[in-house]
Amino acid sequence: MSFVFVNGVLSGATDDPNRLIKDLIEDRREGKIPKEVNVRFRKDTDSVMINSDSGRLLRALIVVKNGKPLVTKEDVQLLSEGHVTWQDLIDKGKIEYLDADEEELAYTALTEEELTPSHTHLEITPLSVFGTQASLLPFINHSNAHRNVTAVKSVQQGVGVYSTNYLIRHDNESMIAIDQQFPIVKTEMYENENFKSHLSGQNIVVAVLSYLGYNMDDAIIINKSSVERGLLRAMFFRPYKVEDLKYVGGQSDLITIPDKDVAGYRSEDSYKYLDEDAIAAINSHVNDGDVLIGRISPPRFVSSIDKFRLGVQKQVESSIECRTGESGIVENVFVTSTSEGNKYVSLKIRQDRPVEIGDIFGPRSGQKGVVGMLLNQEDMPFTYSGIVPDLIFSPYSIPSRMSMSYLLELIGGKVGALGGRHVDGTSFTGETEESLRQELMKYGFRENGVETMYNGITGEEMKVRIFVGDMTYIRLKHFVEYKIQWRARGPIQLLNRQPTEGKSKRGGLRLGEMEKDCFVAYGTALALKERFDSDKVTIPVCSKCGMVAVYNVKKKTGYCPIDGEDAQIKLIEVSASFKILLDELKSVGIYPKMVLGSKV
């Protein structure tokens, strides 16, 4: 006897599980029970699992009986003419939805030719073994599955146009690619999903060779003249949002140009872009540290040590400034009020982002790389016919990754560019390698895509022929200008006097345990000491009881709260975090005694 579980709950038992399953499937195909109900027999626990709950991923398959698909050529014809709908095919039980559980019972053929009498289902198209995103990638049935996952991930990070009303939107950190092109090598999915209007990337000429050592590993060389002509140029937008908050006691923030007597007043120069409304004028070119929206706040506790030292009686300067390391042009400003009645200002900065060293480019085959060098066009290699590549890709990236789709797309793009047509790179059903080779030969090129190239610097002919073609490259959203971070001096934390953390707070770069080991290994002891001295404090210590004493800087004398004036007070250097440790030990009733000794 087998148990029957409905949505994971034990609901009954049956003597003939196979018949129960068969009847349920029959009933579903006849429309007697909802089409979302799925069923499966589990051998290991001898139970029938019936699922009808939400949240299961279902996929559509064509039902096969006696090796023949129930969806016939006539059905497809009627469907394309509009006489029959998708729903009709489901209602007739010709197409059904399976969840991951019921797929265990199914024996699915990829194509109609593969069908045998033992098959139960047929894929609607072989492409449907991939998801929507993966089916946008050309020729990926030739590539390693792991590489295809990487490819999907890098295509997701591509910069395109996420919304056509981006100019009036104030999304956080949005990026727009200025010029997109429809890929020469497309897939069926570009048509089906209307990706013609959601493009990212451009068709560029790519040569696969090692050149000058600037494209080692995953680095790529970009033609600087292509960049100057606008190759994959992008724009970056960042809104700065401010709300006039109201506090307990009737006080509130005020958007205004701060007076000189406000605590924390910056230089007059910092406010130069502000109009009378205390908001930076549209089209002003602002830089790192310039005030964008002037604001003052009532006195309150602030965490930065500098502001704390200023005292807490006066109104505090709390203007919004352009972020560290960023600059741009004020694009537009929205002034409105929130539902609580507070004034709300949002100001958007636009920044031009031409390609620079360190930016990341990726094709649709998971071979993304960092720009290692921008070379002038005259220094780039060129082919016999004078074609200069936009991008040079390292040949060493191919054998280990086994991304054959990269090579096929390169040849496909070359054929498409020469023939003035789009090449169908749909997986399983697209154009074959053989037909692309034949067509390339027709245009007077070598069928394997290689060409004689010349060194742009010396003019010498290269000893080997170079694989060169045309393919779609996408610029990824990781701009080096946004990520670069540095610091010499800067703000510190109030509690432990160590540098603040994070790029937005002008933070320091952490020198951890392993980095310390490197400094030690290289013998740079003084550099290491300088880094670890960043939170150095001088504290008075009583040499008798070993506790932190009190020191009067003006009189240059110290006294111990325990041992009085007579005790000998020594000034010693410790890290601020050690001082916190002493205080914490005392707070839990432990007596931390420092025993002082002479350094010499």
Residues engaged in binding Zn ion (CB under 5 A): 542, 544-545, 560, 562-563, 567
How far apart are CB 567 and Zn ion at their closest, in Å? Answer: 5
Handedness of CA 49, 53, 56, 59 (dihedral sign): positive
Q: Which is nearer to Zn ion, 216 or 550 (CB)?
A: 550
Q: Which is nearer to Zn ion, 222 or 542 (CB)?
A: 542
Among candidate residues 23, 88, 218, 563, the one labeled active-site is: 218
**Cα first-last separation, the chain:** 88
CB 185 within 8 A of CB 413: yes
How far apart are CB 543 and Zn ion at their closest, in Å? Answer: 8
User: What 3-state class would DSSP assign to 441?
Assistant: helix
CA pair distance 262, 307, nearest whole angstrom: 12
How far apart are CB 547 and Zn ion at their closest, in Å? Answer: 6
How far apart are CB 325 and Zn ion at their closest, in Å? Answer: 49
Q: Which is nearer to Zn ion, 6 or 545 (CB)?
A: 545
Handedness of CA 280, 281, 282, 284 (dihedral sign): negative
Nearest to 474 by CA among 119, 98, 181: 181
User: What 3-state class would DSSP assign to 165?
Assistant: coil
How far apart are CB 563 and Zn ion at their closest, in Å? Answer: 4
Nearest to 293 by CA among 322, 268, 329: 322
Q: Write the DSSP string, 230-291.
A: TTT-EEEEEEEEEE--B-TTS-B-B-SPPPTTSBT---GGGGTTB-TTSBBPTT-EE-TT-E
CA pair distance 253, 318, nearest whole angstrom: 9
CA pair distance 294, 331, nearest whole angstrom: 17
Neighbours of 379 (CB within 10 A): 17
How far apart are CB 595 and Zn ion at their closest, in Å? Answer: 12
DSSP conformation class of 560: B
Q: Which is nearer to Zn ion, 261 or 566 (CB)?
A: 566
**Residue 218 known to be catalytic:** yes
CB 327 within 8 A of CB 285: yes
Q: Which is nearer to Zn ion, 299 or 546 (CB)?
A: 546
- CA 403-359-135 angle, to 5 degrees, is 35
Q: Which is nearer to Zn ion, 161 or 545 (CB)?
A: 545
How far apart are CB 586 and Zn ion at their closest, in Å? Answer: 13
- Residue 51 CA, chain-centre distance (Å), reads 36
Neighbours of 41 (CB within 10 A): 18
CA pair distance 313, 2, nearest whole angstrom: 79
Q: Which is nearer to Zn ion, 314 or 570 (CB)?
A: 570
Question: Active-site positions?
Answer: 218
